[in-house]
Amino acid sequence: EAQVTQNPRYLITVTGKKLTVTCSQNMNHEYMSWYRQDPGLGLRQIYYSMNVEVTDKGDVPEGYKVSRKEKRNFPLILESPSPNQTSLYFCASSLKGLAGATYNEQFFGPGTRLTVL
Amino acid sequence: GDSVTQMEGPVTLSEEAFLTINCTYTATGYPSLFWYVQYPGEGLQLLLKATKADDKGSNKGFEATYRKETTSFHLEKGSVQVSDSAVYFCALIMDSNYQLIWGAGTKLIIKP
């Protein structure tokens, strides 16, 4: 089954304790992205990757890191989490393709609900 | 920059009522427009999309028409069901950029 998986689904942690949220897709997609969802703000992009070893900042990258060593995986790293990073996080992926961004549906993972105390 | 504005919720309707959720956008070029749905406790699913002006996207009884003159992409359904209760997001994407720009989301509650 084609899917994007995220782990963990739920995480409660404390300020300053490094954590990693994993994201994996089995569709051979080039493009992957991380979003955070906050009430009243919709989703905001944190980082994205157009292909292996190619990553770039989105709109809210502060406090986050990513890596793209393999095509299928795109982990999100919080080196020193703070309470303002409490949020619902989504990973997404899509083909890059010659047709352009508008013709390639983005598939989303189930979300990771993070609470930083 | 590019942005999406959608009506605030929650929107509460009775079963079989007519639904409209308003969405307007601001973009420098010609975006494609999307509606995503998030059911309770789940991720985001693409509901429908339209890639150019006057296109109508439709799925599961929902429709939205890309109106360039009013920069709008309102979501409609003729007769809602309890199972339509969810959060609906309007979003746009530019062909040159894979970043989805999202509205704030509208929570829809359907009462039996």
pLDDT digits (tens, 9 = 90+) for B36-55: 999 988 889 999 999 889 99
Chain B: nearest CA to A58, how far in angstroms? 8
The yes-or-no verdict on residue B103 having pLDDT over 90 is yes
Question: Is A109–B43 a contact, with Cβ atoms under 8 angstroms apart?
Answer: yes
The yes-or-no verdict on residue A7 having pLDDT over 80 is yes
Burial of A44 (0-12, 13-18, 19+ CB in 10 A): middle
Closest Cβ opposite residue A42 in set B43, B51, B89: B89
**How far apart are the C-alpha atoms of A17 and A80, rounded to whole Å?**
6
Comparing alpha-carbon positions, the chain A residue that sits nearest to B37 is A108
Chain A CB contacts of B100 below 8 Å:
35, 43, 45, 92, 106
Mean per-residue pLDDT over chain A, rounded:
92
Q: What is the pLDDT of residue A2?
A: 83
The SS3 assignment for B18 reads: coil
Q: What is the pLDDT of residue A98?
A: 56
Q: How confident is the model at residue B9 (pLDDT cuts 50, 70, 90)?
A: confident
Closest Cβ opposite residue A110 in set B43, B46, B91: B43
Q: What is the pLDDT of residue B84?
A: 97
Chain A: nearest CA to B101, how far in angstroms? 8
Where do we find the tokens 């569709």? A27
Question: What average pLDDT does this structure show over A11-23?
Answer: 97
Geometric angle at alpha carbon B103, from B100 and B105, rounded to 5°: 120
Give residue B19's Cα distance to chain centre: 11
A39: cis peptide before it, omega within 30°?
no
Radius of gyration of chain A (CA): 14
Reading the block at residue A113, the tokens are 């609900």
Are B93 and B100 spatial neighbours (Cβ–Cβ below 8 Å)? yes
Comparing alpha-carbon positions, the chain A residue that sits nearest to B104 is A42
Reading the block at residue A115, the tokens are 């609470």
**How far apart are the C-alpha atoms of B59 and B37, rounded to whole Å?**
12
Question: Is A102–B105 a contact, with Cβ atoms under 8 angstroms apart?
Answer: no
Chain B CB contacts of A90 below 8 Å:
43-44
A75-84, B32-41, B78-87: which has the minimum mean pLDDT? B32-41
The yes-or-no verdict on residue A40 having pLDDT over 90 is no
| Residues composing chain A | 117
In eight-state DSSP terms, residue B74 is -
The yes-or-no verdict on residue B102 having pLDDT over 70 is yes
Task: Please tell me the number of Cα atoms within 13 Å of A62 on its side-chain side.
Answer: 2
The SS3 assignment for A81 reads: coil
